[in-house]
Homo-oligomer: A and B are copies of this chain.
Amino acid sequence: MAEAFVIPLWADLLAVGIGALQGALFAAQFRDRRLDWLGVAIIGIVVGFGGGLLRDLLLDVPLAPLQTNWYVVVATGAALLGMLLERVFSRLGRLITALDALTIGLFGAIGTTKALALGIPEVAAVFVGVLAAVGGSILRDMLLTLPIALMHVGSLYAVAAAAGSGAIAVLLSLGVPVLVAATIGVVVTFAVRVASVLFGWSLPEQRSIGRL
């Protein structure tokens, strides 16, 4: 059984803050909907640590983001900062896409290794890792009553998380130390995500085989 890959609290909170800030920037597209400050904070919370809550619910363990005050505080603060300084941050689109790619890589690595450490088998652990990485974005779209972006043709997001989480599961089963495996997983997720945005990669649309 593998060890879990853990990162220092400050690094996890930084990732949560980046997610929450990005959630607020996303919400800013919907000015006509009259979201209030609480709505923005809720979006920040679900994008920031919604994936972590889903991960721990699936694993039937105490929910890590509720064991300290920091997650709620950081996610709320980052979301409101993102809302107020939206004009500044929206100029940094590329930087934020890159940071977000790093964030889903980290959340995926933490989720996958935590699941494996609890005895969840490989494929199911990758499923947990992917949901830890992108679950916040699913909840965001559900709360905004939008089509779930990652289910539709577009740049690779959940696939990037799956590639990284899958790499980790394979490497750990080959006996690679968890820190090395997790680092490679984060790099794989980051690379697939960024390449997909740069080169316009996407999955094919649903289709049936024509002649049957």
A-side interface residues toward B, CB under 8 Å? 27-28, 31, 33-40, 42-43, 45, 53, 56-63, 65-69, 71-73, 83-88, 115, 120-124, 126-128, 138, 142-143, 145-148, 150-154, 158-159, 202-210, 212
Q: How far is the CA of A147 from the CA of B143 in the complex (A)?
A: 7
A145 in complex: contacting residue of B71, B147, B203, CB < 8 Å: B147
Contact A67 B35 (CB under 8 A): no
Q: Chain A interface secondary structure, helix, strand, loop or mixed?
A: helix
Chain B residues near A27 (CB, 8 Å)? 206
A127 near B87: Cβ-Cβ < 8 Å: no
A72 and B124 contact, CB distance less than 8 A: yes
B212 touches A31 (CB 8 A): no
By beta carbon, the residue of chain B nearest A82 is B208
CA distance A159 to B36 in the complex (A): 11
**Assuming A204-B37, A206-B28, A209-B84, is B60 touching A61 (CB within 8 A)?**
yes
- Quick check: A83 and B151 within 8 Å, CB to CB? no
Which B residues are in CB contact (< 8 Å) with A57? 57
Query: Separation in Å of the A63 CB from the closest CB of chain B?
Result: 6
Are the C-beta atoms of B36 and A87 separated by less than 8 Å?
no
How distant is A70 from chain B, measured CB to nearest CB, in Å? 8
Q: Can you list 6 A-B pairs with a CB-CB distance of less than 8 A?
A: A31-B206, A36-B204, A38-B151, A53-B58, A87-B210, A88-B212
Q: Which residues of B contact A148 (CB under 8 A)?
A: 39, 42, 143, 145
Chain B residues near A28 (CB, 8 Å)?
206, 208
Contact A209 B85 (CB under 8 A): yes
Which 5 A-B pairs have CB atoms at the shortest separation, nearest pair first? Answer: A39-B151, A69-B123, A86-B208, A36-B203, A66-B124
Q: Which B residue's beta carbon lies closest to that of A209? A: B84
A62, B63: Cβ atoms under 8 Å?
A: no
A129: min CB distance to chain B, Å: 12
Partner of A83, one of B34, B58, B126, B206: B206
